[in-house]
Structure 1
Amino acid sequence: MRVLLVEDDELIGQGIVAGLRQHGVDVHHVITAAAAEAAQMGDTFQALVLDLGLPDRDGMALLDTMRSFEPDLPVLILSARDAVEHRLAGLRGGADDYLVKPFDLRELAARLHALVRRTQGRAAQAIEAGPLRLEPDSGLTWLHGEPVTLSRREIDLLVHLAAAGRRWVLPDALNERLYGLGEEINSNALNVHIHNIRRKLGADAIETARGLGYRLGWRHTP
């Protein structure tokens, strides 16, 4: 799981990064709203952990902006604002969960895993993009109504690109999605998967841009 942490306190942020990594969570930490938006545009995350007291913008305003790009991104607010009114405002404003500081890192990790599980359950619906129809759970795939056989990793790669919408996804993010943090990766593995997908689905199935990464060639209809 890859998580974007937006926390302006460097010490707290470092502690969260170290703690979550012990629970199998890869964390990208930024300290400003502007950096969070840049990270979202350049990478793909399974969840967002958001502090509200940011130096350049209120966290709720940032949440609204990030939701406009990724409506289904699981969001957990992590804040010292502990009044009931603050918690209700956060949840009504689009957050999926709200955890008050100080907190236990084990609870934070458990809540994140639960949020992502629920989101993955919702995302298991069929993907339709251009002439492609793909059912992530079964792996059944059709192109122009004709069945196509894809490997499990080819399916995972297409699902990940579809989840990113029209945003470019960096190769490192795709490798993490396909192989996780601990698995050894052949340096050419991603290129092989993309070559095989294009061979089976056509050259337009995946777009490539130098320095930006990859994205689905057909617009995905959620």
Structure 2
Amino acid sequence: MKKVTIILIFIAFVFCLPKVNAQLINWNTMGSTQHIINANVGLDYSVSYGIGYGYKPNTKLPIIMDANFSMPSGKTLFDDFKTKIGGQMLLLDISNFRGALALYGMYRRQETELVRLQNFGSDMKATFGYYKSKWFVAAEAGFDKAVVTHFKHSQAFREKVYADVADGWYEPATGGNFSYGLQTGYSFKKTDLTLALGKRISQDFKTAPFLPLYVNLGLNYRLSYH
């Protein structure tokens, strides 16, 4: 039973690590923008791909509501993927300095020959930087939390590891990870080319994943109000 517990904790820890697919925003190009279509590719344990859509309502306080879908490269599509929905809000606007807060709810799925995991979690990120009409650079800090994970074990797991293992929902004790890094971008007339890179560490500030670095390259296409 102890062996099973260790395996479950290990799988949950690996599964709950964040996958980067953030939609980076140049707030200085958002004046008349209403829709944002995003595509991105990242290096985060493996090469992963993502797409996203953002909508900017005509409000006094700049808000972007967006949804994202990402999955790692592999032979079997849709075995592993993540969806994220939420929004970003510009809270600080002083000269060319901008500060924003992003909040998301997430659903993640991962499947191996031993177990299928489905996870619900949350993601929060704060950014602060210097923004111009053609470029921007900002610092970012975030916290990714796996709230609850459902385990569905395969027959192979029952035969090779533990026959009486129980399927069901688990609340991982180490399901949170901090991330910090930099983001930058260059803006054209209707597009933004963006780059984010940084590091992550678990919520206990003692452990880190085998590859603690992340890199994400994205492209935004902006559509203005009619």
Q: Which one has a larger percent strand, Structure 1 or Structure 2?
A: 2
Quickly name the TM-score band, shorter chain normalised.
Answer: under 0.3
TM-score scaled by structure 1?
0.27
Higher relative contact order (CA 8 A, sep 6+): 2
